Amino acid sequence: MNVLAQRRFLKMNGLGNEITVLDLRGTRLRVEADDARAIAAQPGARFDQLMVLHDACTPGTDAFIRIYNTDGSEAGACGNGTRCVVWAMMADPVMGDPSRTSLTLETKAGILPARRDSDLVFTVDMGVPKLAWNEIPLADPFHDTSRFELQIGPIDDPILHTPCAVNMGNPHAVFFVDDPCAYNLEQIGPLLESHPIFPDRANIELASVKAPDHIVLRVWERGAGITRACGSGACAALVAAVRRELSERKAIVSLPGGDLTIEWRERDDHVLMTGPVEFEHEGVLEAGWFEAAA
């Protein structure tokens, strides 16, 4: 029997970004790529990102989170998933502490302070964006990552071209367009995600700046595909728009699943993400899920 069988999980979402939360604190258990794919294959536990809680690694933090995409690959950050974890650690009857109004979490990408703004709305400090070509990373040394050479389609009439690159825990390439819905993201997304310019693959964003304080966004997430919302993608879009002098440092980012408030704080360069979460149901991981996937 798989060692994860019968472990309790929470099924949640952040603006329709499907999140499963699994608490492995107090154990030495780890989720392997095959385990993540097996869980994602089940309708009741299906996720865009699986947020797995482990005991804290760094003094002063409350938990370490490993993040898995649908294909079993690991992500460095997930803003919507982090908000779901914060809710779980404050409000869930089993793993929550209702006296808490703030937490400090850690992922592969770094330390993420978070606070509760209301019962279902939370703010996560997503940290300082990485903008250098080798931090994103890109395969070639572009001096200006706010506009780097990449296009898809005919050379003389490309479908998309000249994105802005940002790392918000994950690599992102933000293309500015008039209408994000006018593009076949199902076809374009996989090609761009795995383009040789991105050695670690990349999330692909189609962004339209409607006003200095309003951006409309669609996202193809590496390892997960099209999602209804992407917190790190919304952060990347705001940072990219500011770098292009298209928006203010605080804006509403509208995704298919709803709105996030994103602020790129001038005093310390940190990016703050504010938005809601929704609890759907709880369940247990069944042994048969892992056996069927073996």
How far apart, in whole angstroms, are the C-alpha atoms of residue 14 and residue 81? 7
Alpha-carbon distance 22 to 10, whole Å? 7
Using only C-alpha atoms, the chain has a radius of gyration, in whole angstroms, of: 19
Predicted confidence (pLDDT) per residue in 33-45, tens digit = 999 999 999 999 9
Per-residue CA distances from 157 to 29, 154, 160, 161, 174 (Å): 51, 5, 9, 10, 19
Q: Which CATH number do you get for residue 18?
A: 3.10.310.10
List residues bridging with 207 in a β-sheet. 176, 217
Mean pLDDT to the nearest integer, 176-184? 97
Residue 46 domain boundaries? 8-122+277-293
Is the domain of 103 the same as that of 165? no
78, 84, 164, 235: which one is catalytic?
Answer: 78
Please report, for residues 83, 142, 185, 216, the alpha-carbon distance to residue 149 in angstroms, rounded to integers and kept in the order given.
Answer: 34, 8, 20, 23
For residue 1, being part of any structural domain is answered with: no
Same domain, 208 and 286: no
Q: Cis bond leading into 137, ω under 30°? A: yes
**Structural domain includes residue 129:** no
Could you tell me if 196 and 217 lie in one domain? yes
Q: Is the pTM of this model over 0.75?
A: yes
**Are 175 and 231 contained in the same domain?**
yes
Question: CA 98 to CA 171: how far, in whole Å?
Answer: 34
Average pLDDT, the chain: 96
Question: What domain count does the chain have?
Answer: 2
pLDDT at 246: 98
189 and 249 belong to one structural domain = yes
Active site residue 84: no
Residue 165 belongs to some domain of the structure: yes
Q: Which helix (H) or strand (E) holds 121?
A: strand 121-125
Q: Kindly tell me the sign of the dihedral angle through the C-alpha atoms of 149, 270, 212, 261.
A: positive
Residue 43 lies in a domain: yes
**CA–CA distance, 15 with 160 (Å, rounded to integer):** 27
The confidence score (pLDDT) of residue 294 equals: 66
pLDDT at 1: 84
Predicted local distance difference test score (pLDDT) of residue 156: 87
Residue of 84, 164, 230, 235 marked active site: 230
183 and 262 fall within a common domain: yes
Residue with tokens 């996720």: 47
Inside any domain, residue 130: no
Judge if 95 and 175 occupy the same domain.
Answer: no
User: 142 in a domain, yes or no?
Assistant: no
Whether 78 is a known active-site residue: answer yes
158 with 88, same domain: the answer is no
Is the pLDDT at 293 greater than 90, yes or no?
no
| 93 and 65 both lie in a single domain | yes
Look at residue 141 and tell me if it is in a domain: no
pLDDT of 155 above 90: no
Has residue 30 got a pLDDT over 70?
yes
Classify residue 131: in a domain, yes or no. no
How many residues would you count in the chain?
294
Clarify whether residues 197 and 115 are in a common domain.
no
| pLDDT score at 79 | 96
Residue 293 or residue 263, greater confidence: 263
Residue pLDDT, tens place only, 114-134: 999 999 999 999 999 999 999
The answer on 85 and 187 residing in a single domain is: no
pLDDT(266) > 80: yes
Same domain flag for 67 and 112: yes
